[in-house]
Amino acid sequence: MTTKRIGVLTGGGDCPGLNPVLVGVVRKSIGLDYEVVGILKGWLGMIENVTTPLTRDKVSGILPRGGTILRTSRTNPYKDPEHIKKVKANFKAMGLDALIAVGGDDTLSVAYRLYEEEGLPTIGVPKTIDNDLSGTDRTFGFDTAINIATEAIDRLHTTAESHNRVLVIELMGRHAGWITLYAGLAGGADVILIPEVEVSIEEVCRIISERHGRGRDFSIVAVSEGANLGEGTVLQTDKVDDFGHVRLGGIGERLSKEIEQRTGFETRFVVLGHLQRGGTPSAYDRYLGLRFGMTAVELVEQGKFGTMVSLRGNDFVPTPLKDAVSLTSTVDPKLYERMKVFFG
């Protein structure tokens, strides 16, 4: 066994579980007598050579903390050929034997190209709060996000009921509706709207009205930020000014106004936004993070570069980065269709 020097960076948006990944990387490395170099602010740190040694002490006590002690950025070195040169030079200057990149599609694509085109020994750890990576059964951050969103829906329920109101909650998900589907079901939402399936505003109002007709005079609507109400639908409440522009609020706000106008039921909305990304990770996300991090180091040990850690059933296995970055996982419309028994 030779000792190794491993670099690790976290890129892209905040996600509960990043610190546990770092704990996993460091603790497994100590077990193998490897050294770990923390690269700050994602790929930016590789370009600018800004690092900090990650020791046992450095990662002590960070498990319950949201965010990432390495900071993050959305810098993509492939936007500038000079940056790629610097990444390669700094990889050498840092004396690295391997680089673990923790991030989403963007971050992992860079890791893949560095491996494929530049021959750098990279390993990926998938991070997407939206759970929309096809290469793995689950990603960390998702469980925390659905817990926060479900708790929010629980809170809104009591207000909706006391006031006989419709409450619309806008959740994350531009292209994939997983958070909205899971949290919407778990929170008992009466209508769930996701990007993958077009549902008309008429249909939404019909479900709510039928429900009220059964004497349940309050409703909850869970809607993804990227929900599909039909391409080019102009709602009655969209204001068109003299120049023909439609003045848009977010989908939550627009939907709320439209439901109120069409059904006559008092309607309010909440946009959960960044609250879904921060704070202490759930137990499962911490576990996933630890396991993803330690497995990444095991893949380094085994020389399985160009791969990403992925969860299959209860096992953590390598998947080629190539596959991982090319396929996103979205909600199957058939699954959505089956879940409609919970609407209304």
Contacting its own copies within 140-169 (CB under 8 A): 143, 146-152, 154-159, 161-164, 167
Q: Which of residues 209-268 bind its own copies (CB under 8 A)?
A: 216, 241-242, 247, 268
Query: In whole angstroms, how close is the CB of 301 to its own copies at the nearest point?
Result: 12
- In terms of Cα–Cα distance, which of 236, 159, 227, 233 is closest to 192? 227
Q: Are strands 315-320 and 307-312 parallel, antiparallel or unpaired?
A: antiparallel
- In terms of Cα–Cα distance, which of 235, 228, 241 is closest to 198? 228
CB of 135 or CB of 306, closer to its own copies: 135
CB of 87 or CB of 149, closer to its own copies: 149
Question: What mask of x and - would describe binding to its own copies in positions 304 to 323, judged by CB under 8 A?
Answer: --------xxx---------
When asked if residue 53 is in the footprint of its own copies (CB under 8 A), the reply is no
When asked if residue 30 is in the footprint of its own copies (CB under 8 A), the reply is yes
When asked if residue 137 is in the footprint of its own copies (CB under 8 A), the reply is yes
When asked if residue 283 is in the footprint of its own copies (CB under 8 A), the reply is yes
CB of 141 or CB of 306, closer to its own copies: 141
3-state secondary structure of 344: coil
Q: Which of residues 62-91 bind its own copies (CB under 8 A)?
A: 63-68, 71-73
When asked if residue 183 is in the footprint of its own copies (CB under 8 A), the reply is yes
- In terms of Cα–Cα distance, which of 169, 173, 168 is closest to 195? 173
Which residue numbers are catalytic?
A: 130
Task: List beta partners, residue 315.
Answer: 312
The amino acid sitting at 14 is D
The number of beta carbons lying within 10 Å of the beta carbon of residue 308 is 29
Select from 230, 278, 302, 326 the one that contacts its own copies (CB under 8 A): 278
Please choose, out of 18-26, 80-88, 96-104, 198-206, the segment that lies near its own copies by the rule CB under 8 A: 18-26
Distance of alpha carbon 29 from the chain centroid: 27
User: Please, are residues 65 and 19 in contact by the beta-carbon 8 Å criterion?
Assistant: yes
Cα–Cα distance for residue pair 181/172, rounded to 1 Å: 11
